Amino acid sequence: MHSSLHGRGALFDTEPPGLAPRLTGLRPYQHIPTPYEHQGELPFVVLAGGRGLGKSAVLGELRSAYRGHTPVALIDGEDAQFDRPSPDGHAESWSPVSQATVTIAEQLAEPVTGAGRISFPRLASGLLAVAAGGWSDRDLPRIRQEAERILLMNDTGSWVAGFAGRWIGKVVAKLVASLSETGPVVEPIIEAALEAFGEGVAPTQRRLRKGAAWYCDYPNAGGNPKLGLILLSGHFRAGGASHTHAERYLVRALLADLDDAYAGVVQRAHRLGRPVVLIDNVQEPAGFHLMESVLRDRADGIADRVVFFAALRGHGHPALRNTVRRTLPELARGSGWVPGSAPSSRALLVALPPLSPDETLHMVNAACPGQPTHPQLPHAVHRLTDGNPLGIALIAESARQNLPQGAVSLGELLMADVALHDDRTGHPAHRELLDRLAPDDRLDELTVLAAAHDRDSAFVLAETGLPDDFGTAGVLDLEERLAQEGRPGTPGHFVGDPFLRVLLLLRLHRHDPDHAAWQWVHRTLIDHCRGTSPDHSGYRVRHELALGNVDFAVAHLRDTFLRLDTCDWLSALVLIASAPCYDAYDPEGRHLGNELYDDRGAVALGRTDAAQHLPDGVDVTLHLRVRRILHAVWQLTDPLVLPDPRVTERLRWELEQLSNQKPAGSETLWRASRDWPADAAAGRPFRVPGDDEEQNGGH
């Protein structure tokens, strides 16, 4: 595989051929044919997954792999050019889809090995008719500019420039003449265009005549190309279903022009493989409506020969409910795709998986060649990111730049500046990640809500400290957006994705030098938990621990040890110990204000027992053991700390000893003494004995 991506061999491999070479008929990065998997209709491939899973990277790799060998176009639905028309443009003659067809055609037109430029006369004719709907006598410079861009889509690299100049002059002259009359100018412009098309016998004019004649089959045109173009322009401006119909016809024109480039023995002999169109962020209007047009036409039997790969943020879409779904490994030797009757069955949705620990190891080692790294760093990076390729790549780059400067922990690597471009200054790595992994329009609000444990606690934060225009509706909107992106909330966390939550909480903690925002958020949630169900006591203690109130957490766990069911107590311990502890990872490994180093490992190993001032009347053995266990679990489950085998082994021993202090729960505690060290070593969440049985019984 020539790809620089890790874990994506099912797409790019050559032996056996991955999905991309089987669909395009070309080996990646080589002008060498490979057998097609589908001789007839092709699946519209949709790569699905949350932010950072490498969808855009795959599309970029596909463009690099096939550029120059076969026509390739890449658009991003989130690009600003698809948001609105240009400042001097008209909304009634513009749409994200029409802009997408222009952008795609201009890229597909480029010459490739063995073949020249591709012309798009059908699309040019249709776009000219649509553009005319927004022209007036005050827009002559814009008219000339738009017409020139549209006509250049008919360019094959010959002498079109001179012809285009003469033809544009005639169109503009005809338009000016029509302005003395009342009413729209669409019909005079189309008449002028058709007249210019028919004035010569050169290949350029013949292509344009053929392109315009294609619209004789437009519904209700009665075989009249002029009427077809007028209807197309009117439908585009009408909005609603008529507008959608016109957009679909423009997409059909684009694909019909592209099909012409491959028609005939001579053309096929010069063009190996199939053309490729790549659509990033296909959930946005430009990509989504283009995809819908292609799927509906294919379902109606209107064929094309284009290989489509699209990237969808999230794990599905209501409009793709009938799509064929495959995991990436299932595509290694064949897709098994067979379309049904529904248009969405023409799509093949491929869930991009996170990277494995081995793939993470390879990425970290590749980023830090020759540098001494902690042997557990790749393992810790995978645990933190859960295999998110973007997260791994950026943390690995931070390691390359900052390990030689003395950074040790993952927290330091996230807080250290990382320069992603040689010509730009660096920014903290966690900020660079959030710029790519979080919705940017409500990042401040999401940063605060990351501390919430459910919707109600998020409402409290929104009502007491977030902007008035956010409120309850803003919470529900963010909750829905995260769910649509494949990152719904989980029990105990409003922000369900652990990696994103770590980054957001780190941003919250570093919001201001005195941590005022951090303290306000946790104190607000502490007050909220006081007035709720006793079941929320664990959340209150977690927020107290996040503020450094260790004694409060130890006392709570000590006093509830004998009273609670052992499984419930272990669950509470894991919950409380999930409190973030970021002070230890400020520059030089200290809390801000020159406070103590992170001493959780020392406490867990019993090195601070002798210095403790114990409360009166407590069981000293139980108190110190609970304190050591809390600090051990707190450190071992902290995703920003490299695993410490000494703490892991000490936790095993402490839980064994704790089982002797509660005979009724000894078996459960003994089981935890075996499971939790294994979970810590594997980077898994700590399992509470009995939870699996209860969940299975519930199903």
C-alpha dist (Å) from residue 293 to 246, 285, 651 = 10, 12, 59
Q: Are residues 483 and 410 in the same domain?
A: no
Residue with tokens 């509830």: 560
Reported as a single tens digit per residue, the pLDDT across 633-652 is 999 999 999 889 999 999 99
Confidence of residue 591 (pLDDT cuts 50, 70, 90): very low
How far apart, in whole angstroms, are the C-alpha atoms of residue 320 and residue 292?
Answer: 10
How far apart, in whole angstroms, are the C-alpha atoms of residue 208 and residue 196?
Answer: 9
Residue 7 lies in a domain: no
Q: Are residues 229 and 144 in the same domain?
A: yes
**Contact predicate 331/18, CB 8 Å:** yes
pLDDT score at 585? 37
DSSP notation for 384-427: HHTT-HHHHHHHHHHHHHHGGGT--SHHHHHHSEE-SSTTS--E
- Reduced 3-state DSSP string for 625-662: HHHHHHHHHHHHCCCCCCCCHHHHHHHHHHHHHHHCCC
pLDDT at 587 over 50: no
pLDDT score at 178? 58
Q: What is the mean pLDDT of the chain?
A: 89
How far apart, in whole angstroms, are the C-alpha atoms of residue 650 and residue 652?
Answer: 5
From 305, 329, 351, give the residue that closes a domain.
351
Reported as a single tens digit per residue, the pLDDT across 206-250 is 888 899 999 999 999 999 999 999 999 999 999 999 999 999 999
pLDDT score at 593? 41
Region at 643 (left for phi over 0; alpha for psi -120 to 50; beta for the rest) = beta
Instruction: Note down the domain range covering 316.
Output: 38-114+261-351
Q: Are residues 400 and 462 in the same domain?
A: no
How far apart, in whole angstroms, are the C-alpha atoms of residue 536 and residue 553?
Answer: 14
From 416, 435, 454, give the residue that closes a domain.
435
Q: What is the mean pLDDT of residues 320-344?
A: 94
Q: Are residues 253 and 126 in the same domain?
A: yes
Q: Count Cβ atoms below 10 Å from residue 379 Cβ, excluding itself.
A: 19
Whether the CA torsion 678, 680, 683, 685 is positive or negative: it is positive
Token duo for residue 613:
């001032």
Reported as a single tens digit per residue, the pLDDT across 466-503 is 998 999 999 999 999 999 998 999 999 999 999 999 99
Instruction: Give the pairing of strands 417-418 and 427-428.
Output: antiparallel
List the beta bridge partners of residue 417. Answer: 428
List the beta bridge partners of residue 278. Answer: 74, 309
Residue 344 lies in a domain: yes
Q: Are residues 477 and 602 in the same domain?
A: no
Q: Are residues 540 and 665 in the same domain?
A: yes
Domain count, the chain: 5
Q: Are residues 412 and 503 in the same domain?
A: no
To 10 degrees, the CA torsion angle through 81, 85, 86, 87? -140
Token duo for residue 636:
């071992």
Token duo for residue 560:
């509830």
| Strand extents, DSSP E, 256-407 | 276-280, 307-313, 324-327, 347-351
List the beta bridge partners of residue 347. Answer: 44
- pTM of the prediction? 0.90
List the beta bridge partners of residue 349. Answer: 46, 325
Output phi, psi for 140, to 5 deg: -60, -45
Exposed / middle / buried, residue 300 (Cβ in 10 Å: 0-12, 13-18, 19+)? exposed
Residue 403 lies in a domain: yes
pLDDT score at 277? 98
| Strand extents, DSSP E, 148-284 | 276-280
C-alpha dist (Å) from residue 55 to 40, 46, 210, 362, 419 = 26, 10, 39, 20, 23
Q: Which of 102, 60, 142 lies closest to 286, judged by CA? A: 102
Residue 2 lies in a domain: no
**Contact predicate 66/369, CB 8 Å:** no
Residue with tokens 């519930």: 698
Q: Count Cβ atoms below 10 Å from residue 405 Cβ, excluding itself.
A: 9
Q: Are residues 648 and 561 in the same domain?
A: yes
Q: Are residues 670 and 558 in the same domain?
A: yes
pLDDT at 586 over 60: no
pLDDT at 161 over 60: no
Q: Are residues 107 and 219 in the same domain?
A: no
DSSP class of residue 129? Answer: H
Vertex 511 angle, CA 603 and 556, to 5°:
35
Instruction: Give the pairing of strands 347-351 and 324-327.
Output: parallel
How far apart, in whole angstroms, are the C-alpha atoms of residue 661 and residue 620?
Answer: 12
Q: Are residues 414 and 388 in the same domain?
A: yes
pLDDT score at 183? 53
> Cis ω on the peptide bond leading into residue 16 (within 30° of 0)?
yes
**Contact predicate 68/115, CB 8 Å:** no
Residue 11 lies in a domain: no
CA 418 to chain centre: 21
Residue 72 lies in a domain: yes
Q: Are residues 469 and 514 in the same domain?
A: yes
How far apart, in whole angstroms, are the C-alpha atoms of residue 487 and residue 507?
Answer: 19
Reported as a single tens digit per residue, the pLDDT across 367-388 is 999 888 888 999 999 999 999 9
CATH of the domain at 284: 3.40.50
Residue 453 lies in a domain: yes
Residue 23 lies in a domain: no
From 413, 435, 457, give the residue that closes a domain.
435
Element (H, E) at 445: helix 443-449
How far apart, in whole angstroms, are the C-alpha atoms of residue 329 and residue 10?
Answer: 6
Vertex 667 angle, CA 664 and 669, to 5°:
95
